[in-house]
Amino acid sequence: MPAKKEYLSTSGQRFLKVSAGILGGLFLSVAIHLLLGILLQNKVAVMLTGTFTAFLLWAALLTIAFLAKSGLKIWGIYLAGILICSSIIYLIR
């Protein structure tokens, strides 16, 4: 039994969600971990645990991107998060 057309995403929205989930989620998880590396004193612990937690955070952000209604909105949220983390890093350094 096929799904109703009203519940399916268009191809453009699907591309935006996939690209936001993969690229945006990756860049946002890296930006968050870079911010943690600057804020915390024990940088070795951040680097060691960052490899595992970055993957878990990326997987969560990927899932959130697919649950969103609009691909543009999720791109905007991810880009805002990246810019906030980057500006905090810039101001601290």
Predicted local distance difference test score (pLDDT) of residue 2: 66
pLDDT of residue 9: 75
With CA atoms as reference, report the closest residue to 20 among 52, 65, 54: 65
Q: DSSP string spanning 6-29?
A: GGSPPHHHHHHHHHIIIIIHHHHH
| Averages of pLDDT over each 10 residues, the chain, 93 residues | 70 92 96 92 86 94 93 96 97 90
Check residue 44 and give its pLDDT: 87
pTM to 2 decimal places = 0.87
Res 45: pLDDT: 86
- What's the pLDDT score for residue 7? 66
